[in-house]
Structure 1
Amino acid sequence: MNDSTAPRPDSVRLSLDDVHALARDTLLAAGLGAPHAAAIARSITRAQADECHSHGLYRLLGYVDSVRSGKVERQALPVLTRATPVVLRVDARRGFAPLAIETAVPALIEAAKTYGIAALAIHECYHFSALWADIEPAVEAGLAAWCFTVGQCCVAPSGGSAPLFGTNPIAFGWPGPAGRPFLFDFATSAAARGEVELKRRAGEPLPEGWAIGPDGAPTTDPATALAGALLPFGGHKGSALSLMVELIAGPLIGDVTSRQARALENGDAGPPLGGELFIAIDPAAFGGETLGRRLAEAEELFAQVKAQPGARLPSERRYAARARSADGVLVPAGLLAEIHALNR
């Protein structure tokens, strides 16, 4: 059994409505504008429902830190423009990303459905959410979609010893039947920084190969890792993918790299400034008369993966968690106490 479903003495069960209300009310109490607070609450609730704990209620601590530090614009609303009919831009105006994403993704879907392919660049945003949630609406609309963003500058290049890249996640989605698309979202580092933070909070060691300390030596201590650098997954392959994300979510769209973002940081526990790139393609653009057959072929491929003992599709665990969460989610009591303390 997944240990997140079993009652524990150090956990509290909350309904998803409770999670949403707690997130929204905490952000409002910190002084964040209502549209932003509502969008972030929706993002946090989705992550908590899918048992993505590193992007759920735990993220409230960093969101509130950034609001209180004055780094983030509390009230500024994102502005959507079109560079061309298929290239969309959103100026997030140094606000948090979720509201900018909710503002722009419907226009991305419309453009991709109309012209077959479209791209969306979100600028000057503080991104702190999970990428799978950013692209899921586009994939549910029948599009294949990618998303990229830089992260906190804490990852050394393969063979290096000092932070240069962000965790630089990549997400991809493919439309599936019955509202269950194929989706994956992973950092190009061996683990997301949030996972390392959760290990530190729990007093647990890191697996070998996740990180190095400030001296460049391998470490399994989360605090030492956070003072040193995380490592890319897969050695030079993950490092190359991370550099690709730096380029296409930074210079390509006219935004900052992870290193440049670090120079703008104020030391709070919130997200860095950066950009986000979406690409969406309508499979129907390659011949609508064969669309059904092509989608069926993709489903056959998925079935063949699942038919192999021990194999699973990346999305399956998330959907199972989502179904369980209809009865509520378990939140560590210590984390809940920290969040409640924010409101005092």
Structure 2
Amino acid sequence: MTQNAQVQTVWSEAELSALAVKAFQGLGLTLADAKDVVQVLVMADLFGLSTHGLSRVESYGERLLVKGISARPNITVQSPAPALRLVDGDNGVGPLVGMHALRAAMQAAKECGIGMAFARGSNHFGPISPYSLLAAQEGFASIIGSNATTTIAPWGGSDARLGNSPLGFGVPNPGGDPFLLDMAMSVVARAKIRNAFKRGEAIPDTWATDDKGRATTDPKAALDGFLQPIGGHKGYGLALLVDLFAGLLSNAAYLTHVKSWVDAPDEPQNLGHFFILINTQMLGSTQWLAERMTDFASILHDSPAAVEGRPVIVPGEIELHKMKQQRAQGITLDATTVILLHQHAARAK
């Protein structure tokens, strides 16, 4: 397919998944591994998280082609204790390693009531909310995190020493929408700063610093500098905690030991993730949990809106509404990503 050809940009979930699976097979993955990766990325697109969805085929694909990511990893799982799993991703694609770790933690939680999986030897694994939703659909509450390439300076520092590490939580709601919270450790994503720079607009001085660690309203200086953590020194501490669990305890790389996929695309990043799952079925019946979750949400929803037309929402509502909408009307994907998917799919044998 050429750049000038008419490109289909609205897809059914089944059609898009089939194309994406073929694309990752074209990049060297097995059919089963490609399905794992695509499940996470398509779910991200369904949620409206396009920056972490199938658009990632560009960066994942570049690194797969230069052998910076292994297309055929030998992922292993060890069980040093009944509720603990250690996953070695063997430098596989991040969502593939993430799915192995999620399943390992689920198995442990089914047996013990609570399960934890540490993953090492991984790469960018997409957003957390798909994993949280998959866990919630099986009756598991979850705490999930990953470390990342360094983009944030330590509190009071003047160079990047820690990553914008995501942290997420999920609580199932039998018969209803689960609670899903997925957040990174910066005030805003770098993409928002980049968009402000393109528009020639100033940014709030709480978003980022310049390359000397000083707060700035200049988006160009911010792009050359560092992201600000949420909540100041509290967000800094939270980002460190995620890296301690995801990187240090998992025996993966941490802080500045994490290699940048931009600067060294042909080298393993050795990112780490952690999955803590709680089997809610061992806490009470599904009716018990559904009643409490419904009441929990009602208490919040019943608060009068401070701004007319903007009612109180529970984390996850926007994403789950977007998912339902796109499953009914089709998933919208940008033409560049579609073209790239077709190009990689053409390599599949």
Match of 2:185 among 172, 183, 188: 188
1:78/1:99 contact within 8 Å kept: no
Q: Relative to structure 1, is the Cα distance of residues 206 and 99 closer, same or farther in structure 2, using a 3 angstrom cutoff? A: farther
Question: What is the CA distance between 1:264 and its match in structure 2?
Answer: 8.6
The CA distance in 2 between the partners of 1:130 and 1:179, in whole Å, is 22
Correspondence for 2:232: 235
Worse-matched range after superposition: 31-40 or 302-311? 31-40
Question: What is the CA distance between 1:153 and its match in structure 2?
Answer: 0.8
Instruction: Say which structure, 1 or 2, has more relative contact order (CA 8 Å, 6+ apart).
Output: 2
The CA distance in 1 between the partners of 2:267 and 2:15, in whole Å, is 23
- In the TM superposition, 1:112-127 aligns within 5 A as 112-127=109-124
Q: Relative to structure 1, is the Cα distance of residues 206 and 35 closer, same or farther in structure 2, using a 3 angstrom cutoff? A: farther
Correspondence for 1:199: 195
Question: What is the CA distance between 1:207 and its match in structure 2?
Answer: 4.2
The CA distance in 1 between the partners of 2:243 and 2:171, in whole Å, is 24
Matched, 1:302 2:297: yes
Question: What is the CA distance between 1:54 and its match in structure 2?
Answer: 1.4
Question: What is the CA distance between 1:175 and its match in structure 2?
Answer: 1.1
Q: Relative to structure 1, is the Cα distance of residues 262 and 34 closer, same or farther in structure 2, using a 3 angstrom cutoff? A: same
Match of 2:153 among 156, 160, 179: 156
* TM-score relative to the length of structure 2: 0.84
| Cα shift readout 1:193-212 (whole Å, capped 9, x = no counterpart) | 5x448738975757422222
Correspondence for 1:136: 133
Paired residues, number? 333
Question: What is the CA distance between 1:252 and its match in structure 2?
Answer: 2.0
| Cα shift readout 1:268-310 (whole Å, capped 9, x = no counterpart) | 3999431111111223545x47x74465234312111111223
| Cα shift readout 1:106-157 (whole Å, capped 9, x = no counterpart) | 3422321322211111111113311111232222222211001101211122
The CA distance in 1 between the partners of 2:268 and 2:8, in whole Å, is 26
Q: Relative to structure 1, is the Cα distance of residues 298 and 320 closer, same or farther in structure 2, using a 3 angstrom cutoff? A: closer
- In the TM superposition, 1:31-110 aligns within 5 A as 31-110=28-107
2:41/2:52 contact within 8 Å kept: yes
Matched, 1:323 2:324: yes
- Unaligned runs of 5+ residues in structure 1 are 1-9
Worse-matched range after superposition: 273-282 or 134-143? 134-143
* TM-score relative to the length of structure 1: 0.85
Question: What is the CA distance between 1:56 and its match in structure 2?
Answer: 1.2
Question: What is the CA distance between 1:171 and its match in structure 2?
Answer: 0.6
Correspondence for 1:3: none
RMSD value, Cα: 3.1
The CA distance in 1 between the partners of 2:183 and 2:67, in whole Å, is 30
Q: Relative to structure 1, is the Cα distance of residues 331 and 256 closer, same or farther in structure 2, using a 3 angstrom cutoff? A: same
**Matched letter for residue 177 of structure 2:** R
| Cα shift readout 1:50-104 (whole Å, capped 9, x = no counterpart) | 1111111221111111112211111113112211110011111111132233334
- Unaligned runs of 5+ residues in structure 2 are 1-6, 306-310
Correspondence for 2:308: none
**Matched letter for residue 294 of structure 2:** E
Worse-matched range after superposition: 237-246 or 212-221? 212-221
| Cα shift readout 1:11-53 (whole Å, capped 9, x = no counterpart) | 9322223332333233333334443322222211111111111
2:174/2:289 contact within 8 Å kept: no
